[in-house]
């Protein structure tokens, strides 16, 4: 069972990479488990840890919550994906992210529980136009308490 940032981040990435469309093709062009802003295919996904917390359950166990942000990017341009299509695609893949975590909260047994606890949508103009969504995911694990106090 995943109990580290690296292992949990990998489980989240694996879950996201398994999301397919009706033609059995990945719904995401690229999925990164590190900060990145150089995308060649869309929608793109970046998964990054943002923090965590923990509580002692008893003398042998600690309940630990790891927090992650999953950010989706969808380009929008006159030459590429138009505004309406970009918006529709963002809504569709966002629904699939939420449903994937609702339907498999243990990420196929990788951890105790993963929940989408918040999400935001926005639009930005940088060296291009992007629709983006940020999902806040909390992952609960139980780890051994190695202290004797």
pLDDT in tens, 83-107: 888 889 999 999 999 999 999 999 9
For residue 127, pLDDT over 70 is answered with: no
Give pLDDT, residue 106: 96
Task: Indicate the burial class of 72 (C-beta count within 10 angstroms; 0-12, 13-18, 19 or more).
Answer: buried
Report all structural domains of the chain as residue ranges with CATH numbers, in order of start: 5-144 (3.30.70.1700)
CA distance 41 to 56: 43
Residue 76 banded pLDDT, cuts 50, 70, 90: confident
CA distance 67 to 114: 10
For residue 148, pLDDT over 60 is answered with: no
Give pLDDT, residue 78: 66
Closest to 70 measured CA to CA, from 127, 121, 128: 121
pTM of the model: 0.90
CA distance 7 to 47: 13
For residue 149, pLDDT over 60 is answered with: no
For residue 80, pLDDT over 70 is answered with: no
pLDDT in tens, 55-68: 998 889 999 999 99
């Amino acid at each position: 069972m995943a109990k580290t940032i690296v292992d949990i981040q990998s489980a989240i990435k694996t879950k996201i990479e398994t999301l397919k469309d009706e033609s059995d093709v990945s719904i995401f062009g690229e999925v990164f488990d590190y900060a990145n802003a150089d995308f060649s295919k869309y929608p793109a996904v970046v998964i990054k840890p943002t923090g965590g917390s923990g509580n002692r359950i008893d003398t042998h166990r600690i309940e630990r919550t790891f927090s992650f942000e999953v950010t989706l990017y969808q380009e929008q341009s006159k030459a590429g994906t138009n505004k309406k299509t970009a918006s529709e695609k963002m809504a569709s893949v966002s629904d699939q992210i939420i449903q994937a975590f609702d339907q498999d909260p243990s990420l196929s047994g990788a951890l105790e529980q993963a929940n989408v606890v918040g999400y935001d949508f926005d639009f930005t103009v940088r060296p291009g136009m992007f629709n983006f969504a940020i999902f806040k995911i909390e992952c609960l694990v139980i780890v051994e308490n190695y202290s004797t106090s």
